[in-house]
C-alpha cells in the first residue's frame, strides 16, 4: 500500500488537472490518477475551443465565479507561457424574451457588466456573416471569447508536476473508500492501493459510476462538434471579424459557434447546445452520421448562410448533466474526507481554474470563500450532510 499523500485527485481532465495544480502550488503532496493518457479526447475536455462569457444567462449567481475564473485564466496564461484564451467578443442572440438574451441581460445588469444591445439591423451591419430574423436582438459582450481546452489541461498538468504532484496516467481507479473514523481515504487501481488524507473526485462522464452513492440523477449525453469550411473562405470568420455566439430559436433550440481558428484548414466550429442522446462512456456512438451533419448544416445555414460549406471534421464529446443544469461542487455528504466536482452540464469549462481553487480550499481547509451553495447535491434529492 502506497502512503504519504495529502490529497488524491481522481480524474485529470479540466477540473481534476486544475485541482492538482492548485493543490500542488499550496505545497500539498498530491497524487493524480487518470484512466487515459494526458490531455485525452475520451471525455469532455477536448475539441479545440470552449466559449467563455460573463453575462451569464444560466444565472447571476455564476458571475462572481466567472470574474475570478478570468483572473485565474490570465495567471495560467502567464505561468504556462502559452495561448489559453482569445477574447474576440461574443453575441447572445435570440428574441428579447428568450433565455439566452433575457438571462444574459439580467446577469449583465445585476453585476454592471459592460455590454451592448444590438437590434437585427445592427447585428447584420457589424457582423455581416450573421443573418438574424427581424425580431431577433443580441447582447454583445466584448470580453467574451474562447478558451483552448487542450492547452488549458496541458498547462495545468505541467504546472502541477513542476510543483511536485505525482501524476499517473493509464491507471483507472477501480474502487475508493473513506476510512473509518475520518482517517482519510483508500483508493485502489490495477497498479496498487493508495491512501491519503483527502480524495477529490472529478469523474466527468464517469460520475454515475464513481459517485453512485451521492444520490444525484446524472444524465450523460452524446454531443457532436462540427467544423465547416465556409463558402468563400475563412477570412470573414476569423477572430478579428467574427465573434463567438450562442443563438436561440423561437422553440428554445440553441446553437453555439466560434470564429475560424488555426489557419485555412481549421474551419469554423458550430454545435447544438444540449439536445444530446443519452449514453454511457462505454456505449457512446463516436461515429457522426450523415443525417446529423445535414441537420446541423441546415440549422446553422439558416443563420450563417456562408457557414455550412464543406464539412472538415466532426467529433463527439459528452455532457454530464444534472436535472437543473447546475453543477455539483461540494464535500461528499457521507464522507468528510471526500470532495466532489461533477455534473457540469455542458457549460463548465469556463470555470475550470476557479473550480480547481475551490477544490483545493475544500480539500485542505474544509471550506471555501467562494459562493458554492447553489452546487450542493442535496438540492437534487441527493444525500444530505
Domain borders along the chain are: 5-45+150-216+324-380, 87-145+219-321
pLDDT given at position 382: 59
Pick from 145-149, 162-166, 261-265: least confident: 261-265
The cell for 294 is: 445535414
CA 322 to chain centre: 14
Which CATH code for domain 5-45+150-216+324-380? 3.50.50.60
pTM for this predicted structure: 0.96
Residue 1: band (very low, low, confident or very high) from pLDDT cuts 50, 70, 90: very low
* pLDDT tens string 63-110: 999 999 999 999 999 999 999 999 999 999 999 999 999 999 999 999
* pLDDT tens string 113-146: 999 999 999 999 999 999 999 999 999 999 999 9
pLDDT given at position 383: 58
Residue 263: band (very low, low, confident or very high) from pLDDT cuts 50, 70, 90: confident
Distances from the Cα of 342 to the Cα of 116, 236, 254, angstroms = 33, 37, 23
Q: Are 236 and 266 in contact (CB under 8 A)?
A: no
The cell for 284 is: 457512446
- The residue among 84, 91, 12, 9 whose CA lies nearest residue 45 is 12
Superfamily (CATH H level) for 87-145+219-321: D-Amino Acid Oxidase, subunit A, domain 2 (3.30.9.10)
> Looking up cell 473514523, which residue turns up?
181
Amino acid at each position: 500500500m502506497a502512503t504519504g499523500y495529502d490529497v488524491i485527485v481522481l480524474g485529470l481532465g479540466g477540473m481534476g488537472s486544475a485541482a492538482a495544480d492548485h493543490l500542488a502550488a499550496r505545497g500539498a503532496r498530491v497524487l493524480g490518477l487518470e484512466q487515459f493518457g494526458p490531455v485525452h479526447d475520451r471525455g469532455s475536455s477536448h475539441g479545440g475551443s470552449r466559449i467563455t462569457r460573463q453575462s451569464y444567462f444560466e444565472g447571476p449567481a455564476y458571475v462572481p465565479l466567472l470574474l475570478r475564473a478570468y483572473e485565474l485564466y490570465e495567471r495560467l496564461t502567464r505561468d504556462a507561457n502559452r495561448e489559453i484564451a482569445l477574447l474576440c467578443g461574443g453575441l447572445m442572440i435570440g428574441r428579447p424574451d428568450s433565455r439566452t438574451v433575457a438571462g444574459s441581460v439580467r446577469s449583465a445588469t445585476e453585476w454592471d457588466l459592460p455590454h451592448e444591445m444590438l437590434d437585427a439591423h445592427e447585428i447584420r451591419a457589424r457582423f455581416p456573416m450573421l443573418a438574424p430574423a427581424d425580431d431577433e436582438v443580441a447582447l454583445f459582450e466584448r470580453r467574451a471569447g474562447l478558451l483552448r481546452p487542450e492547452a488549458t489541461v496541458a498547462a495545468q498538468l505541467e504546472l502541477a508536476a513542476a510543483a511536485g504532484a505525482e501524476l499517473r496516467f493509464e491507471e483507472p481507479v477501480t474502487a475508493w473508500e473513506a476510512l473509518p473514523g475520518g482517517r482519510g481515504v483508500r483508493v485502489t487501481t490495477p497498479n496498487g492501493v493508495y491512501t491519503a488524507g483527502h480524495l477529490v473526485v472529478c469523474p466527468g462522464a464517469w460520475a454515475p459510476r464513481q459517485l453512485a452513492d451521492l444520490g444525484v440523477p446524472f444524465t450523460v449525453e452524446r454531443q457532436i462538434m462540427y467544423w465547416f469550411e465556409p463558402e468563400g473562405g475563412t477570412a470573414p470568420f476569423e477572430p478579428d471579424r467574427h465573434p463567438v455566439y450562442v443563438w436561440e430559436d423561437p422553440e428554445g433550440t440553441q446553437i453555439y459557434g466560434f470564429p475560424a481558428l488555426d489557419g485555412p484548414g481549421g474551419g469554423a466550429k458550430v454545435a447544438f447546445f444540449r439536445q444530446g442522446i443519452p449514453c454511457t462512456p462505454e456505449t457512446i456512438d463516436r461515429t457522426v452520421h450523415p443525417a446529423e451533419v445535414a441537420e446541423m448544416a441546415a440549422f446553422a445555414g439558416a443563420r450563417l448562410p456562408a457557414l455550412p460549406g464543406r464539412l472538415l471534421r466532426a467529433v463527439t464529446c459528452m455532457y454530464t448533466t444534472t436535472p437543473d443544469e447546475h453543477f455539483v461542487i461540494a464535500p461528499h455528504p457521507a464522507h468528510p474526507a471526500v470532495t466532489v466536482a461533477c455534473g457540469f452540464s455542458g457549460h463548465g469549462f469556463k470555470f475550470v481554474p476557479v473550480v480547481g481553487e475551490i477544490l483545493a480550499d475544500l480539500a485542505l481547509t474544509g471550506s471555501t470563500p467562494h459562493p458554492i451553495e447553489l452546487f450542493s447535491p442535496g438540492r437534487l434529492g441527493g444525500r444530505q450532510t
